[in-house]
Structure 1
Amino acid sequence: MLRMAARTGVATWVLAAAANALASAPVLDKLRQGGALVIAHRESSTPFSYLDADKKPVGYAVDVCLKLAEAVKKELGLKAMPVTFKMATPANRIAMIESHEADLECGSTTNNAERRQKVAFTVPHYITGSRFLVRADSGVEELPQFEGKKLVSTKGTTPLKAVQQANRERLLRINVLEAPDHAKAVEMVEKGEADGFVMDDVLLYGLIASRPDPSKLKVVGKPLTIEPLAIMLPKDDPAFKHIVDEEMKRMVRSREAHALYEKWFEKPIPPKGTSLNLPMNYLLRDFWKYPTDQVPF
């Protein structure tokens, strides 16, 4: 009898959890009632999400999010669905999604266990590693060579946390600085206010390409971390996440995602028409063979 009661209790709990999951659809309910899908974008995360010469949000992640928005519209059977953009920063992006100020965060955000406590992520659209941007005449090549020097990173990012931890554990005596955004961090290196900038290497290459004289900067070092970058969305709307996940998988399998990758990483991009010349790395290529939102970090 006790065993049967226990089984009944477990079954009741599972059914209740499933019912609650189905009932919780704040994003989809808003859209069905005519509300806008809000896309959070970044200011200077080239080529993922940044502003072009007309201050319009553009980039690889922005294009991905617009395709996701179209899939949601189609799935809900809506004739029209407004889409609006809202600026996000590394410091407030998670709170914007958690509080439903935005429905999708389309930038260069790492999917990790700590963040998954507050928000959800879909299939990664890029996998990168954090390295160092330095001036072209710098002799620094690896993290230990920053000992006694100034190393900047962007507030609220995983590379910042990683370098702070490495600095403590290895007693490197690096003066770790925080910048409000990527553009300011690059400027600090250019002006000599910092000896290096630690960030996802793909972002560093994009930032270099956007500078007035790219030849004055370079990317060095072995990866300090491995970063799976993914679109962020609310944790409390599993039906919305299911639509987004299925569309991401479809885009990867149909190779639409590959075409978007080529557009932003291998061809000239705004505002200067410069190409990053970054073919897809083996990390992303292998991950996309079996696309999933599950990452081992």
Structure 2
Amino acid sequence: MNAAPLRWLPLLLAALLPSLAVAQTLDRVRASGTLTLGYLPDQPPFSVSEGDGASGYGVDLCQKVADQLRTQPGLAQLRTRFVPLAPEKALDVVREGGVDLLCSPVVETLKRRETLAFSLPVYTAGVGVVLRQDASPHLVRVLKGEESPSGPTWRATVNRGLTAAHFVVQGGTVVESWARERLRLLKVLVTLDTVPSALDGVQKVAKGEADAFFADQMMLRSLVQRDASNAGLMVLDRRFEFEPVSLAMARGDEDFRLQVDTALSRFYRSGDMVPLYTRYFGPPGDLDQTLFKVYSRR
């Protein structure tokens, strides 16, 4: 008997088992009659806690996914269940199948794609910064990009204004990686710490415990506006980076991912997308509406 083919059996099983383990989301949802949706409670305008449920732009998009699933056999009476997740654990919960879909959009990276799958982009995020209105004028000019960004003079000028400055970012996020890389490249001498959530970052700046907090610009504006104690803060108009963000799900279940993308694509092409976007972000500009068409599929 030729044993050579048997040597490939462990490799074949190793390749197949991870996919089989996370597949069959639709069968699991059909058996339970419930779509389990994870969200981050303090990520406005994308997701916030509201009574026993959740609300926000990402949450509304997840409801559109549920509507799409209700058109499938055996799912007409589908229920939704929202589960609040800790930011530092959210992707692990999604990866392990603890929730079927994460309604708080995240940036898709190659590293994350090793263990997770992502929907079509649902929003184009931009890194912004919040600081106190009484921040030093030099710090404000630097963060607005008004200092000359060329050659050694740029680095020296920036360092004179930022030495001993204290910046914070949310730990484990793409913004943290971006900030550390920017500081390394520019050789800027500042302290950079992490916080567990965006709300914590804004509060640190409001209390004077940090000079600036970097996160998605629209989320920063929402956090500042919803709390009167943040009246002394300002979110700069400048966007440092642009990143499409998506809904995350367990890797290896293309049938479920197809249903998610079908729901999003149909919504992008419908007349309902503009009022929903306007509700959370203001009227979409020409670029936004072009991206709606680019992101959708037929």
Query: What corresponds to 1:287 in structure 2?
Result: 291
Distance 1:258 1:211 in 2: 27
* 2:163 paired with 1:165: no
Query: What corresponds to 2:252 in structure 1?
Result: 236
* 2:37 paired with 1:59: no
Partner SS, residue 194 of structure 2: strand
Distance 2:289 2:106 in 1: 19
Distance 1:114 1:284 in 2: 27
1:134 maps to amino acid: L
Distance 2:230 2:204 in 1: 15
* 2:76 paired with 1:72: no
* 2:192 paired with 1:176: yes
Segments of structure 1 that go 5 or more residues without pairing to the other structure are: 1-16, 266-277
| Distance verdict in 2 for CA 1:171–1:21, change over 3 Å | closer
1:187 maps to amino acid: Q
Aligned positions of 1:215-294 closer than 5 A:
215-220=231-236, 222-265=238-281, 278-292=282-296
Distance 1:22 1:281 in 2: 42
| Distance verdict in 2 for CA 1:174–1:239, change over 3 Å | same
Query: What corresponds to 2:43 in structure 1?
Result: 45
| Distance verdict in 2 for CA 1:283–1:97, change over 3 Å | farther
Query: What corresponds to 1:108 in structure 2?
Result: 105
Moved more, 225-234 or 209-218: 209-218
Distance 1:197 1:242 in 2: 37
Q: TM-score when scaled to structure 2?
A: 0.81
2:181 maps to amino acid: Q
Segments of structure 2 that go 5 or more residues without pairing to the other structure are: 1-14, 144-157
- Structure with larger Rg: 2
Is the 1:148–1:172 contact (alpha carbons within 8 Å) kept by the matching residues of 2? no
Select the residue among 65, 87, 95 that pairs with 1:98. Answer: 95
* Offset, 1:170: 1.6
Select the residue among 59, 81, 85 that pairs with 2:82. Answer: 85
Deviations 1:134-193 (A, max 9, x none): 011213233445442110111121111111111122211111111111111111001110
Select the residue among 183, 193, 205 that pairs with 2:221. Answer: 205
Deviations 1:23-79 (A, max 9, x none): 973211101222521111111111110124x46411111011011012112223423
CA RMSD between the two structures: 2.4
Distance 2:21 2:81 in 1: 25
| Distance verdict in 2 for CA 1:282–1:235, change over 3 Å | farther
Is the 2:33–2:77 contact (alpha carbons within 8 Å) kept by the matching residues of 1? no
Distance 1:147 1:70 in 2: 53
Q: Which has the higher helix share?
A: 2
* 2:166 paired with 1:150: yes
1:288 maps to amino acid: F
* Offset, 1:283: 4.3
2:54 maps to amino acid: P
Distance 2:19 2:95 in 1: 17
Is the 1:153–1:177 contact (alpha carbons within 8 Å) kept by the matching residues of 2? yes
Select the residue among 189, 193, 198 that pairs with 2:205. Answer: 189
* Offset, 1:111: 2.1
Query: What corresponds to 1:125 in structure 2?
Result: 122
Deviations 1:77-129 (A, max 9, x none): 42322321111233112111111011110113112222222211112221121
| Distance verdict in 2 for CA 1:292–1:116, change over 3 Å | farther
